[in-house]
Structure 1
Amino acid sequence: MHNSKLCVGRILLAHSGHATARKFFTSATAASYDSCVKITTFGQDAAWKREIVQHVARSNAVLDLACGTGILTSLLRSAGRQVVGLDLTEEYLLQAAKKGDLQLSQGTAEVLPFRSGIFDAMVSSYLAKYVDIDRVVQECWRVLQPGGVVVFHDFTCPSSPAINGLWKSYFSILRFFGTFFKSWQAVFTDLDNVIIQSRWVDDTKDALCRLGFQDVTARYYTLGTSAMVVGIKP
Protein backbone atom coordinates (compact mmCIF):
# COMPACT_ATOMS: atom_id res chain seq x y z
CA MET A 1 0.00 0.00 0.00
CA HIS A 2 1.32 3.43 -0.94
CA ASN A 3 0.37 6.85 0.40
CA SER A 4 0.58 8.63 -2.95
CA LYS A 5 -2.38 10.78 -3.94
CA LEU A 6 -3.26 10.26 -7.60
CA CYS A 7 -5.94 12.30 -9.40
CA VAL A 8 -6.89 10.85 -12.79
CA GLY A 9 -9.38 12.36 -15.21
CA ARG A 10 -10.28 12.68 -18.87
CA ILE A 11 -7.62 14.47 -20.91
CA LEU A 12 -8.20 16.73 -23.91
CA LEU A 13 -5.25 16.47 -26.29
CA ALA A 14 -4.45 20.05 -27.26
CA HIS A 15 -1.31 19.72 -29.38
CA SER A 16 0.00 17.38 -32.08
CA GLY A 17 3.02 16.58 -29.92
CA HIS A 18 0.71 14.84 -27.48
CA ALA A 19 0.06 12.16 -30.09
CA THR A 20 3.80 11.49 -30.31
CA ALA A 21 4.05 11.34 -26.53
CA ARG A 22 1.12 8.91 -26.42
CA LYS A 23 2.87 6.72 -29.00
CA PHE A 24 6.15 6.73 -27.09
CA PHE A 25 4.94 6.44 -23.51
CA THR A 26 2.41 3.64 -23.19
CA SER A 27 1.36 1.01 -20.70
CA ALA A 28 3.89 -1.29 -22.39
CA THR A 29 6.84 1.02 -21.58
CA ALA A 30 5.80 2.34 -18.17
CA ALA A 31 7.24 -0.46 -16.02
CA SER A 32 10.61 -0.47 -17.78
CA TYR A 33 10.98 3.31 -18.22
CA ASP A 34 13.32 3.93 -15.29
CA SER A 35 15.74 1.21 -16.38
CA CYS A 36 15.56 2.25 -20.03
CA VAL A 37 16.31 5.93 -19.42
CA LYS A 38 19.20 5.04 -17.11
CA ILE A 39 20.77 2.67 -19.63
CA THR A 40 20.17 4.68 -22.80
CA THR A 41 21.53 7.93 -21.30
CA PHE A 42 24.52 6.10 -19.75
CA GLY A 43 23.43 7.37 -16.35
CA GLN A 44 23.37 11.02 -17.43
CA ASP A 45 19.65 11.32 -16.75
CA ALA A 46 20.36 11.15 -13.01
CA ALA A 47 23.02 13.86 -13.30
CA TRP A 48 20.70 16.11 -15.30
CA LYS A 49 17.91 15.69 -12.78
CA ARG A 50 20.23 16.49 -9.87
CA GLU A 51 21.10 19.72 -11.67
CA ILE A 52 17.39 20.54 -11.97
CA VAL A 53 16.97 20.01 -8.22
CA GLN A 54 19.84 22.43 -7.58
CA HIS A 55 18.10 25.12 -9.64
CA VAL A 56 15.14 25.07 -7.22
CA ALA A 57 17.15 24.65 -4.01
CA ARG A 58 15.52 27.75 -2.49
CA SER A 59 12.00 26.84 -3.58
CA ASN A 60 9.38 25.10 -1.48
CA ALA A 61 6.24 24.32 -3.51
CA VAL A 62 7.36 22.78 -6.83
CA LEU A 63 5.32 21.62 -9.83
CA ASP A 64 6.93 18.79 -11.83
CA LEU A 65 5.43 18.86 -15.32
CA ALA A 66 5.55 15.62 -17.33
CA CYS A 67 6.64 13.84 -14.18
CA GLY A 68 6.32 10.43 -15.83
CA THR A 69 7.27 7.64 -13.42
CA GLY A 70 8.25 10.16 -10.77
CA ILE A 71 12.05 10.01 -10.96
CA LEU A 72 12.47 13.78 -10.60
CA THR A 73 9.40 14.11 -8.39
CA SER A 74 10.83 11.72 -5.82
CA LEU A 75 14.23 13.44 -5.94
CA LEU A 76 12.56 16.75 -5.18
CA ARG A 77 10.55 15.17 -2.37
CA SER A 78 13.71 13.67 -0.89
CA ALA A 79 15.33 17.12 -1.04
CA GLY A 80 12.55 18.47 1.18
CA ARG A 81 10.43 20.15 -1.46
CA GLN A 82 6.63 20.06 -1.43
CA VAL A 83 6.09 18.72 -4.93
CA VAL A 84 3.14 17.97 -7.18
CA GLY A 85 3.72 15.79 -10.24
CA LEU A 86 1.55 16.10 -13.35
CA ASP A 87 1.64 13.84 -16.39
CA LEU A 88 -0.43 12.98 -19.45
CA THR A 89 -0.17 9.19 -19.13
CA GLU A 90 -2.05 7.32 -16.42
CA GLU A 91 0.16 4.22 -16.59
CA TYR A 92 3.26 6.31 -15.87
CA LEU A 93 1.55 8.00 -12.94
CA LEU A 94 0.69 4.60 -11.51
CA GLN A 95 4.39 3.74 -11.62
CA ALA A 96 5.19 7.05 -9.92
CA ALA A 97 2.69 6.26 -7.18
CA LYS A 98 4.78 3.21 -6.24
CA LYS A 99 7.68 5.48 -5.26
CA GLY A 100 5.99 6.58 -2.06
CA ASP A 101 4.29 9.67 -0.69
CA LEU A 102 3.90 11.74 -3.85
CA GLN A 103 1.04 14.03 -4.87
CA LEU A 104 0.21 13.23 -8.49
CA SER A 105 -2.31 14.46 -11.04
CA GLN A 106 -3.17 13.62 -14.65
CA GLY A 107 -3.41 16.47 -17.12
CA THR A 108 -1.77 18.47 -19.88
CA ALA A 109 0.84 21.16 -19.37
CA GLU A 110 -1.10 23.60 -21.58
CA VAL A 111 -4.15 23.58 -19.28
CA LEU A 112 -2.98 23.14 -15.70
CA PRO A 113 -5.61 22.01 -13.16
CA PHE A 114 -4.24 24.28 -10.41
CA ARG A 115 -5.12 27.63 -8.86
CA SER A 116 -3.09 30.71 -9.76
CA GLY A 117 0.00 31.63 -7.76
CA ILE A 118 0.37 28.47 -5.68
CA PHE A 119 3.86 27.29 -6.75
CA ASP A 120 7.24 28.95 -6.37
CA ALA A 121 8.97 26.71 -8.92
CA MET A 122 8.11 24.69 -12.02
CA VAL A 123 10.40 22.02 -13.43
CA SER A 124 10.12 19.67 -16.39
CA SER A 125 12.29 17.03 -17.99
CA TYR A 126 11.67 15.78 -21.54
CA LEU A 127 8.50 17.85 -21.99
CA ALA A 128 9.31 20.89 -24.12
CA LYS A 129 9.64 19.16 -27.50
CA TYR A 130 6.12 17.72 -27.29
CA VAL A 131 4.03 20.76 -26.32
CA ASP A 132 2.74 24.16 -27.37
CA ILE A 133 5.47 25.94 -25.44
CA ASP A 134 3.76 29.35 -25.57
CA ARG A 135 0.69 27.98 -23.81
CA VAL A 136 2.81 26.08 -21.30
CA VAL A 137 4.80 29.19 -20.44
CA GLN A 138 1.56 31.17 -20.02
CA GLU A 139 0.27 28.55 -17.61
CA CYS A 140 3.56 28.54 -15.72
CA TRP A 141 3.30 32.30 -15.32
CA ARG A 142 -0.25 31.90 -13.99
CA VAL A 143 0.48 29.26 -11.34
CA LEU A 144 3.83 30.70 -10.21
CA GLN A 145 4.24 33.22 -7.43
CA PRO A 146 6.42 36.31 -8.01
CA GLY A 147 10.04 35.20 -7.82
CA GLY A 148 9.10 31.73 -9.04
CA VAL A 149 11.64 29.74 -11.04
CA VAL A 150 11.00 27.73 -14.22
CA VAL A 151 13.38 25.02 -15.44
CA PHE A 152 12.82 23.28 -18.78
CA HIS A 153 15.13 20.35 -19.59
CA ASP A 154 15.12 18.19 -22.70
CA PHE A 155 17.28 16.46 -25.28
CA THR A 156 19.06 18.47 -27.97
CA CYS A 157 20.86 17.66 -31.20
CA PRO A 158 24.63 18.29 -30.83
CA SER A 159 25.96 21.15 -32.96
CA SER A 160 29.52 19.81 -33.18
CA PRO A 161 29.87 17.82 -36.44
CA ALA A 162 31.98 15.13 -34.76
CA ILE A 163 29.62 14.70 -31.79
CA ASN A 164 26.61 14.90 -34.09
CA GLY A 165 27.99 12.01 -36.13
CA LEU A 166 28.41 9.90 -32.99
CA TRP A 167 24.94 10.90 -31.83
CA LYS A 168 23.37 9.77 -35.12
CA SER A 169 25.34 6.51 -35.01
CA TYR A 170 24.06 5.88 -31.50
CA PHE A 171 20.47 6.27 -32.62
CA SER A 172 21.15 3.86 -35.48
CA ILE A 173 22.18 1.33 -32.84
CA LEU A 174 19.02 2.06 -30.85
CA ARG A 175 16.92 1.46 -33.96
CA PHE A 176 18.55 -1.96 -34.30
CA PHE A 177 17.77 -2.82 -30.68
CA GLY A 178 14.20 -1.65 -31.24
CA THR A 179 13.64 -4.73 -33.40
CA PHE A 180 14.20 -6.85 -30.27
CA PHE A 181 12.47 -4.63 -27.70
CA LYS A 182 9.11 -4.10 -29.39
CA SER A 183 7.60 -1.99 -26.61
CA TRP A 184 10.38 0.57 -27.14
CA GLN A 185 10.59 0.32 -30.92
CA ALA A 186 8.66 3.54 -31.60
CA VAL A 187 10.92 5.53 -29.27
CA PHE A 188 14.15 4.00 -30.57
CA THR A 189 13.04 4.55 -34.18
CA ASP A 190 11.59 8.06 -34.06
CA LEU A 191 13.02 9.95 -31.08
CA ASP A 192 16.05 11.31 -32.92
CA ASN A 193 13.83 12.83 -35.63
CA VAL A 194 11.66 14.48 -32.97
CA ILE A 195 14.77 15.99 -31.37
CA ILE A 196 16.23 17.15 -34.70
CA GLN A 197 12.98 18.84 -35.75
CA SER A 198 12.46 20.57 -32.40
CA ARG A 199 13.55 24.16 -31.77
CA TRP A 200 12.52 23.92 -28.15
CA VAL A 201 15.51 25.78 -26.68
CA ASP A 202 15.05 28.92 -28.79
CA ASP A 203 11.26 28.67 -28.68
CA THR A 204 11.24 28.36 -24.89
CA LYS A 205 13.65 31.24 -24.39
CA ASP A 206 11.57 33.42 -26.72
CA ALA A 207 8.31 32.50 -25.00
CA LEU A 208 9.71 33.21 -21.55
CA CYS A 209 11.13 36.59 -22.59
CA ARG A 210 7.93 37.64 -24.38
CA LEU A 211 5.84 36.98 -21.31
CA GLY A 212 8.19 38.88 -19.02
CA PHE A 213 10.32 36.23 -17.31
CA GLN A 214 13.71 37.59 -16.30
CA ASP A 215 17.26 36.22 -16.17
CA VAL A 216 16.39 33.75 -18.94
CA THR A 217 19.37 31.52 -19.69
CA ALA A 218 20.10 28.35 -21.64
CA ARG A 219 22.91 25.92 -20.85
CA TYR A 220 23.91 22.76 -22.71
CA TYR A 221 25.08 19.54 -21.07
CA THR A 222 26.89 16.34 -21.97
CA LEU A 223 28.48 17.43 -25.25
CA GLY A 224 25.35 19.26 -26.36
CA THR A 225 22.99 16.29 -26.06
CA SER A 226 20.67 18.04 -23.60
CA ALA A 227 19.95 21.55 -22.37
CA MET A 228 18.20 23.50 -19.64
CA VAL A 229 16.37 26.78 -20.04
CA VAL A 230 15.82 28.70 -16.80
CA GLY A 231 13.85 31.85 -16.03
CA ILE A 232 12.42 33.79 -13.10
CA LYS A 233 8.98 35.39 -12.79
CA PRO A 234 9.49 38.95 -11.48
Structure 2
Amino acid sequence: MRDEPDPRVALVERFFQGTGSSYDFMVNASTFGIDRLWKRRIVSLLPTDSRRVADLACGTGILTLAIARHLPRCHVVGVELRDEYLSIARAKLGRSGLRNVELVLSRAEDYLGTEPFDCIASSYLAKYADLPRLVDKAWQMLTPGGLLLMHDFTYPPKPHLVRTWRVYFYLLQRMGRVFPAWREIYHGLPELIEHTRWLEELPAALQAHGFTDIHREDLTLYGSAIVTARRPA
Protein backbone atom coordinates (compact mmCIF):
# COMPACT_ATOMS: atom_id res chain seq x y z
CA MET A 1 0.00 0.00 0.00
CA ARG A 2 1.35 3.44 -0.94
CA ASP A 3 2.30 5.70 1.96
CA GLU A 4 0.18 8.80 2.45
CA PRO A 5 2.05 12.04 1.64
CA ASP A 6 3.20 14.01 4.66
CA PRO A 7 0.79 16.96 5.08
CA ARG A 8 3.68 19.22 6.13
CA VAL A 9 5.47 18.61 2.84
CA ALA A 10 2.23 19.04 0.91
CA LEU A 11 1.64 22.39 2.62
CA VAL A 12 5.11 23.65 1.70
CA GLU A 13 4.55 22.61 -1.90
CA ARG A 14 1.13 24.30 -1.99
CA PHE A 15 2.47 27.52 -0.52
CA PHE A 16 5.72 27.87 -2.44
CA GLN A 17 5.23 26.30 -5.86
CA GLY A 18 6.29 28.79 -8.51
CA THR A 19 7.60 31.40 -6.05
CA GLY A 20 11.33 30.74 -6.32
CA SER A 21 12.19 33.44 -8.85
CA SER A 22 10.47 36.14 -6.79
CA TYR A 23 11.28 34.87 -3.30
CA ASP A 24 14.21 37.14 -2.44
CA PHE A 25 12.35 40.26 -3.54
CA MET A 26 9.08 39.30 -1.84
CA VAL A 27 10.53 38.24 1.49
CA ASN A 28 12.35 41.55 1.72
CA ALA A 29 9.44 43.68 0.49
CA SER A 30 6.78 41.94 2.55
CA THR A 31 8.78 42.36 5.77
CA PHE A 32 9.80 45.95 4.91
CA GLY A 33 13.43 44.84 5.03
CA ILE A 34 13.13 43.44 8.55
CA ASP A 35 14.01 39.94 7.33
CA ARG A 36 17.52 41.24 6.68
CA LEU A 37 17.78 42.36 10.31
CA TRP A 38 16.56 38.98 11.52
CA LYS A 39 19.12 37.19 9.35
CA ARG A 40 21.88 39.43 10.72
CA ARG A 41 20.81 38.56 14.25
CA ILE A 42 20.93 34.85 13.44
CA VAL A 43 24.42 35.17 11.99
CA SER A 44 25.60 37.15 15.02
CA LEU A 45 24.60 34.27 17.31
CA LEU A 46 26.66 31.64 15.50
CA PRO A 47 29.85 30.55 17.29
CA THR A 48 32.74 32.33 15.58
CA ASP A 49 34.97 29.24 15.86
CA SER A 50 32.50 27.01 14.01
CA ARG A 51 34.12 24.70 11.47
CA ARG A 52 30.88 23.26 10.09
CA VAL A 53 27.42 24.85 10.06
CA ALA A 54 24.19 23.49 8.57
CA ASP A 55 21.39 25.76 7.35
CA LEU A 56 18.21 23.67 7.21
CA ALA A 57 15.43 24.65 4.77
CA CYS A 58 17.88 27.08 3.20
CA GLY A 59 15.55 28.15 0.39
CA THR A 60 17.32 30.36 -2.12
CA GLY A 61 20.40 30.54 0.08
CA ILE A 62 19.95 33.96 1.68
CA LEU A 63 21.05 32.84 5.15
CA THR A 64 23.45 30.18 3.84
CA LEU A 65 25.53 32.66 1.88
CA ALA A 66 25.41 35.20 4.70
CA ILE A 67 26.85 32.59 7.07
CA ALA A 68 29.52 31.64 4.54
CA ARG A 69 30.60 35.27 4.15
CA HIS A 70 30.60 35.85 7.90
CA LEU A 71 32.58 32.66 8.61
CA PRO A 72 34.87 32.24 5.59
CA ARG A 73 36.85 29.39 7.20
CA CYS A 74 33.69 27.45 8.01
CA HIS A 75 32.14 24.79 5.75
CA VAL A 76 28.44 25.69 5.37
CA VAL A 77 25.89 23.11 4.21
CA GLY A 78 22.54 24.39 2.93
CA VAL A 79 19.77 21.79 2.92
CA GLU A 80 16.58 22.45 0.96
CA LEU A 81 13.50 20.37 0.13
CA ARG A 82 12.48 22.15 -3.08
CA ASP A 83 14.71 21.87 -6.15
CA GLU A 84 13.17 25.07 -7.56
CA TYR A 85 14.68 27.00 -4.67
CA LEU A 86 17.92 25.06 -4.56
CA SER A 87 18.56 25.78 -8.26
CA ILE A 88 18.39 29.49 -7.49
CA ALA A 89 20.73 29.03 -4.52
CA ARG A 90 23.19 27.20 -6.78
CA ALA A 91 23.14 30.04 -9.31
CA LYS A 92 23.70 32.62 -6.57
CA LEU A 93 26.53 30.55 -5.16
CA GLY A 94 28.17 30.38 -8.58
CA ARG A 95 28.10 34.16 -8.88
CA SER A 96 29.29 34.73 -5.31
CA GLY A 97 32.76 33.27 -5.64
CA LEU A 98 32.36 31.50 -2.28
CA ARG A 99 34.12 28.15 -1.96
CA ASN A 100 32.95 27.10 1.49
CA VAL A 101 29.33 26.21 0.68
CA GLU A 102 27.72 22.85 -0.10
CA LEU A 103 24.07 22.61 -1.18
CA VAL A 104 22.02 19.45 -0.61
CA LEU A 105 18.55 18.53 -1.87
CA SER A 106 16.74 16.94 1.08
CA ARG A 107 13.94 17.43 3.53
CA ALA A 108 15.38 18.80 6.76
CA GLU A 109 14.00 15.92 8.84
CA ASP A 110 15.60 13.36 6.50
CA TYR A 111 19.06 14.91 6.31
CA LEU A 112 21.89 13.32 8.25
CA GLY A 113 25.34 14.74 7.56
CA THR A 114 28.34 12.48 7.26
CA GLU A 115 30.39 14.74 9.55
CA PRO A 116 29.28 16.51 12.74
CA PHE A 117 28.29 20.18 12.87
CA ASP A 118 29.23 22.83 15.40
CA CYS A 119 25.98 24.64 14.71
CA ILE A 120 22.66 23.86 13.02
CA ALA A 121 20.50 26.85 12.07
CA SER A 122 17.20 27.42 10.32
CA SER A 123 14.90 30.29 9.44
CA TYR A 124 11.17 29.82 8.74
CA LEU A 125 11.33 26.02 9.14
CA ALA A 126 9.95 25.40 12.63
CA LYS A 127 6.26 25.95 11.86
CA TYR A 128 6.35 23.34 9.07
CA ALA A 129 8.64 20.80 10.73
CA ASP A 130 8.13 17.51 12.52
CA LEU A 131 9.94 18.96 15.51
CA PRO A 132 10.64 15.81 17.58
CA ARG A 133 12.11 14.14 14.50
CA LEU A 134 14.08 17.25 13.56
CA VAL A 135 15.47 17.67 17.07
CA ASP A 136 16.51 14.01 17.13
CA LYS A 137 18.47 14.47 13.89
CA ALA A 138 20.05 17.64 15.23
CA TRP A 139 21.18 15.79 18.36
CA GLN A 140 22.80 13.13 16.19
CA MET A 141 24.58 15.67 13.98
CA LEU A 142 25.79 18.22 16.54
CA THR A 143 29.17 18.04 18.19
CA PRO A 144 29.17 18.03 22.02
CA GLY A 145 28.59 21.65 22.99
CA GLY A 146 27.11 22.37 19.56
CA LEU A 147 24.41 24.99 19.06
CA LEU A 148 20.93 24.54 17.57
CA LEU A 149 19.25 27.77 16.44
CA MET A 150 15.74 27.98 15.01
CA HIS A 151 13.99 31.15 13.87
CA ASP A 152 10.40 31.59 12.72
CA PHE A 153 7.34 33.80 12.73
CA THR A 154 5.28 34.09 15.91
CA TYR A 155 1.76 35.20 16.80
CA PRO A 156 1.79 38.42 18.85
CA PRO A 157 0.80 37.94 22.51
CA LYS A 158 -0.75 41.39 23.02
CA PRO A 159 -4.14 42.57 21.63
CA HIS A 160 -2.90 45.83 20.12
CA LEU A 161 -0.12 43.97 18.31
CA VAL A 162 -2.59 41.38 17.06
CA ARG A 163 -4.66 44.14 15.45
CA THR A 164 -1.56 45.47 13.68
CA TRP A 165 -0.61 41.93 12.67
CA ARG A 166 -4.03 41.34 11.09
CA VAL A 167 -3.88 44.62 9.15
CA TYR A 168 -0.43 43.68 7.92
CA PHE A 169 -1.62 40.36 6.50
CA TYR A 170 -4.72 42.01 5.05
CA LEU A 171 -2.43 44.28 3.05
CA LEU A 172 -0.30 41.33 1.96
CA GLN A 173 -3.41 39.54 0.74
CA ARG A 174 -4.29 42.57 -1.36
CA MET A 175 -0.74 42.47 -2.75
CA GLY A 176 -1.37 38.84 -3.68
CA ARG A 177 -3.71 40.11 -6.38
CA VAL A 178 -0.70 41.68 -8.10
CA PHE A 179 1.58 38.69 -7.44
CA PRO A 180 -0.68 35.65 -7.93
CA ALA A 181 2.06 33.11 -7.17
CA TRP A 182 2.03 34.47 -3.60
CA ARG A 183 -1.74 34.48 -3.13
CA GLU A 184 -1.84 31.03 -1.54
CA ILE A 185 0.81 31.74 1.07
CA TYR A 186 -0.48 35.20 1.99
CA HIS A 187 -3.92 33.72 2.68
CA GLY A 188 -2.72 30.55 4.38
CA LEU A 189 0.24 31.81 6.40
CA PRO A 190 -1.70 33.89 8.98
CA GLU A 191 -3.77 30.89 10.07
CA LEU A 192 -0.67 28.71 10.22
CA ILE A 193 1.22 31.23 12.36
CA GLU A 194 -1.77 31.74 14.66
CA HIS A 195 -2.29 28.03 15.28
CA THR A 196 1.23 26.66 15.23
CA ARG A 197 2.65 25.76 18.63
CA TRP A 198 6.29 25.59 17.65
CA LEU A 199 7.33 27.92 20.47
CA GLU A 200 5.94 25.43 22.99
CA GLU A 201 6.69 22.21 21.12
CA LEU A 202 10.31 22.98 20.27
CA PRO A 203 11.54 23.59 23.86
CA ALA A 204 9.65 20.47 24.99
CA ALA A 205 11.35 18.37 22.29
CA LEU A 206 14.72 19.90 23.15
CA GLN A 207 14.32 19.07 26.84
CA ALA A 208 13.19 15.52 26.01
CA HIS A 209 16.36 14.95 23.99
CA GLY A 210 18.68 16.35 26.67
CA PHE A 211 19.48 19.77 25.21
CA THR A 212 20.45 22.46 27.70
CA ASP A 213 20.75 26.28 27.77
CA ILE A 214 17.39 26.61 26.00
CA HIS A 215 16.76 30.30 25.32
CA ARG A 216 14.08 32.28 23.49
CA GLU A 217 14.61 35.73 22.00
CA ASP A 218 11.59 37.65 20.69
CA LEU A 219 12.21 39.96 17.74
CA THR A 220 10.53 43.08 16.30
CA LEU A 221 7.24 43.51 18.18
CA TYR A 222 6.95 39.75 18.68
CA GLY A 223 6.81 39.20 14.91
CA SER A 224 9.29 36.36 15.13
CA ALA A 225 11.50 34.58 17.64
CA ILE A 226 14.78 32.71 17.86
CA VAL A 227 15.13 29.63 20.04
CA THR A 228 18.64 28.39 20.81
CA ALA A 229 19.84 25.33 22.70
CA ARG A 230 23.04 23.35 23.16
CA ARG A 231 23.90 19.71 23.08
CA PRO A 232 25.79 19.25 26.37
CA ALA A 233 29.58 19.04 26.07
Which secondary structure state, in structure 1, belongs to the residue aligned with residue 11 of structure 2? Answer: helix
Which secondary structure state, in structure 1, belongs to the residue aligned with residue 86 of structure 2? Answer: helix
**Percent identity for Structure 1 against Structure 2:** 39
**1:1-234 paired onto structure 2 within 5 Å:** 15-26=6-17, 28-58=18-48, 59-80=50-71, 81-100=74-93, 101=98, 102-115=101-114, 118-234=116-232
Deviation of 1:140 after TM superposition, in Å, equals 0.3
Which secondary structure state, in structure 2, belongs to the residue aligned with residue 189 of structure 1? Answer: helix
Please say if residues 112 and 137 of structure 2, whose CA atoms lie closer than 8 Å, have aligned partners that are also in contact.
no
- Give distance in 2, aligned partners of 1:222 and 1:13: 38
Unaligned runs of 5+ in 1: 1-11
Unaligned runs of 5+ in 2: none
Query: How many residues were matched structurally?
Result: 221
Deviations 1:28-73, CA, capped at 9 Å, x for gaps: 2101100100011111111111111111133220000000000000
Please say if residues 148 and 230 of structure 2, whose CA atoms lie closer than 8 Å, have aligned partners that are also in contact.
yes
Which secondary structure state, in structure 1, belongs to the residue aligned with residue 108 of structure 2? Answer: coil
Per mean C-alpha deviation after superposition, the further-off stretch among 68-77 and 173-182 is 173-182
Correspondence for 1:3 = none
- Give distance in 1, aligned partners of 2:202 and 2:30: 25
Deviation of 1:13 after TM superposition, in Å, equals 8.7
Deviations 1:182-203, CA, capped at 9 Å, x for gaps: 1111011111111011011111
Deviation of 1:103 after TM superposition, in Å, equals 0.9
Please say if residues 205 and 216 of structure 1, whose CA atoms lie closer than 8 Å, have aligned partners that are also in contact.
yes
Describe the shift of the 1:138–1:156 C-alpha distance in structure 2 as closer, same or farther (beyond 3 A). Answer: same
Deviating beyond 3 angstroms after TM superposition, the runs of 4 or more aligned structure 1 residues are: 12-15
Please give the root-mean-square deviation of Cα atoms over the aligned residues, in Å: 1.5
